[in-house]
Structure 1
């Protein structure tokens, strides 16, 4: 009878473990806390960029909360409707990584028409010009926020852009060796009119690095949790009943999905982003005038607004009203005294 020694791999197999590989899931997996941290950073940064985009497009702009999903390289931008534009960018400095941004040609044509009413649908030069300005305007605050929170020098540069007629025309493997990406889909809306959907892709490792700083815990701190998830997954697989085994039927107990849990977790995510700058605007009033009236304006002309004298002024954060107040004078500067403001939960929802 032979009693051969078991190899380390066989021992690990018997114990339901996966060997000595370091964090095998880290390259293709984001923990929930990492997803929440990066999504919150992206949502607040894009909301901060909405004001600059509004000035560029001469419309009120809002950005939806991004939906984040981890995908293998071959599946990146698979949902993009061809033809679409692909914008290649890079983060440089103490944080380095590639970035892909995609938007359909139809959406770009709609944005260009708003940006320049004289443009034609086949004016590719105008479309590339607008995309370049839009990307630079959109990612300037994101880069600034990343650098500030991570206390590192971060710079974003646009490497190039092209139009893709079909998915087969975009061999992403030629641009990067990264195997796994985090793809965030969000929409840029112009008032109640046009909306453009963007797909933003970053390598998973870059997202992990950013999320680790936001949460105050480096990636190594997640190693134990990741191994626990793997261990539970392996044990579940090993303990699955065989095909001939009768299934065990149990009654289901549903959790109580009330609003208490949400209200408790919101401030924790917000604490990570307390130092992000937001644009505060006080609006005295608005009005509409015909083109001939605007052309007739000269020094000394008076433009009547839609608010009465003494009526409260609107206080806007990133072009969204969150409070009203009255105008005051502080030394030699104007100021505003808040008289009514939305609740904390409502203000948080306005920032998304």
Structure 2
């Protein structure tokens, strides 16, 4: 203070309660509330339960995916905390929900899944997978996310469709990048605990943009309109004026109910329905019903035999490999018409072409017996 007057700095200090605006604490808005985290965790728990069932059927092992933990992070923050290398499968929601979904799994865990899918025992320890193994794991993760989307559709009471997946390998922290998501953009991470028998005890995570997470929460809380609603109907409902229905004034007068006399009707005569015979004879000039379909083409195929092999055996096949069928050489072959077995026969050669001589035609009783077996 000078000459009995306050300076501008002192006036600002008094107005700000003794401190400058820069010294005031800034209140940071919470991106995802605790209630929204609980909802996302419950949705993830149920959907990943379906995904674990799908994975268990693929690899024939007991799979448990439990204990979701929901948090908010960024890609740059994940680079400092998440282990590498890992495989990421990106799937976009095309109907029901707008946005994308990213499922991330460690490469050693993916190698165990690929080994089990190819008929191995799953006891592998490696930080690298081949292109064939990456394709197998991507298909397994695709089946998992498909089951998860089906489960989400049941919870959200709307149809949820996803796009074909895109897989990528993150070998180091530098190439941990996601299309259309900036490194400092806030994303929602849902981390799950993954157990595959006694082979894998690890974690997988699901990454969602905040907008997609908010969309799912809004649907669960009944605050969202289905995305598959036509745009025209949305615009019409938005522009349509609200109509007010006024109730008629009430009074004590009740009009009497007028009873109508019951009218008598003459009796109706009922006759038995008489139908003309279907079709006709050629003598009458009318074609028979069977004549109308005689020129319909049917596909005839012959089954020499079948064999069941594992994926490992199929991959080992090469030029000159032999595949043993489940039939003896002298056994008759099956003759199928449009995929239905109708007869048996033997293979012959006609003018340097293979042919089949019919030896037995299956009767209706034989078909019933085969169905009973």
TM-score of the pair, normalised by structure 1: 0.51
Give the 3-state SS of the residue equivalent to 1:189 in structure 2. strand
Distance 1:95 1:3, change over 3 A: farther
Tell me how far 1:163 sits from its aligned partner: 1.4
Matched, 1:199 2:201: no
Note if contact 1:86-1:162 (Cα within 8 Å) is conserved in structure 2: yes
2:181 maps to which residue? 176
The structure with the larger Rg is 2
Structure-1 separation of matches of 2:201 and 2:119:
17
| Pairing partner for 1:162 from 165, 168, 171 | 168
Note if contact 2:103-2:207 (Cα within 8 Å) is conserved in structure 1: yes
Q: Counterparts in 2 of 1:167-246, with a 5 A limit?
A: 167-172=173-178, 174-177=179-182, 179-216=185-222
Structure-2 separation of matches of 1:144 and 1:87:
18
1:106 maps to which residue? 108
Matched, 1:144 2:153: no
Superposed CA RMSD in Å reads 3.5
Q: Cα deviations across residues 71-104 of structure 1 (Å, max 9, x unaligned)?
A: 0342235433222112222112242112222212
Larger RCO (CA within 8 A; separation ≥ 6) = 1
Note if contact 1:149-1:213 (Cα within 8 Å) is conserved in structure 2: no
Matched, 1:25 2:29: yes
Q: Counterparts in 2 of 1:121-136, with a 5 A limit?
A: 124-136=130-142
Structure-2 separation of matches of 1:117 and 1:195:
21
Q: Counterparts in 2 of 1:309-328, with a 5 A limit?
A: none
User: Aligned pairs, how many?
Assistant: 209
**Structure with more helix by fraction:** 1
Distance 1:196 1:157, change over 3 A: farther
Distance 1:175 1:159, change over 3 A: farther
Q: Cα deviations across residues 220-265 of structure 1 (Å, max 9, x unaligned)?
A: xxxxxxxxxxxxxxxxxxxxxxxxxxxxxxxxxxxxxxxxxxxxxx
Where in structure 2 are there 5+ consecutive unaligned residues? 225-373
Structure-2 separation of matches of 1:171 and 1:123:
20
Note if contact 1:87-1:158 (Cα within 8 Å) is conserved in structure 2: no
Tell me how far 1:160 sits from its aligned partner: 1.5
Structure-2 separation of matches of 1:154 and 1:139:
11
TM-score of the pair, normalised by structure 2: 0.48
Structure-1 separation of matches of 2:175 and 2:26:
39
